[in-house]
Amino acid sequence: MKRHIKYRPNKTVGVFSVVWGCVFILIGLLVAIPVFGVFGLLWTVAAIAITVFNAFQAFGKKYMGPDITVEDEGPAFSRPDPSFDPGAADHEHITEVSYGHTPQKRLEQLETLREAGLIDDEEYREKRKEILRDP
């Protein structure tokens, strides 16, 4: 399913852009044109163009912003299953993740998982026995 979204900058960003644009226009008129001549004129014209464009984006009634297309594809974007219980998930991956570490490190990781609530006390005891049995 494709959705089209229009993005429009918010008013705060518009005001901020216009204020700073006016500062750059004043710098162009009061400093750049008298000191640098043609470059100062280019500076001022660019500052005016950018300021007008930003004001039009933020406050213009006809400006709707760029069109962004969002595509929802399959279950990756669907709502999660409300019946899913993460506590009931299989924790066989704990030994695989810990493989290669010393028994002490594996026990520390196991304790961290229990403290975080990712495994219950029964799973903790079973894995602890496995680690102590297979150093």
Cα–Cα distances in angstroms (integers) from residue 11 to residues 20, 22, 72, 111, in the given order:
14, 16, 30, 51
Residue carrying the six token digits 């710098």? 27
What three-state secondary structure class fits 78?
coil
How does pLDDT run across 18-68, given as a tens digit for each residue? Answer: 999 999 999 999 999 999 999 999 999 999 999 998 888 878 877 766 767
Of residues 122 and 81, more confidence is placed in 122
| pTM for this entry | 0.45
DSSP strands (E only) in the chain: 2-6, 67-71
What three-state secondary structure class fits 2?
strand
* Every domain of the chain and the residues it spans: 2-73, 91-133
How does pLDDT run across 58-100, given as a tens digit for each residue? Answer: 788 777 667 677 776 555 545 556 565 555 555 555 555 545 5
pLDDT, residue 85, reads 58
Most confident of 4-13, 56-65, 69-78, 104-113: 104-113
DSSP strands (E only) in 1-133: 2-6, 67-71
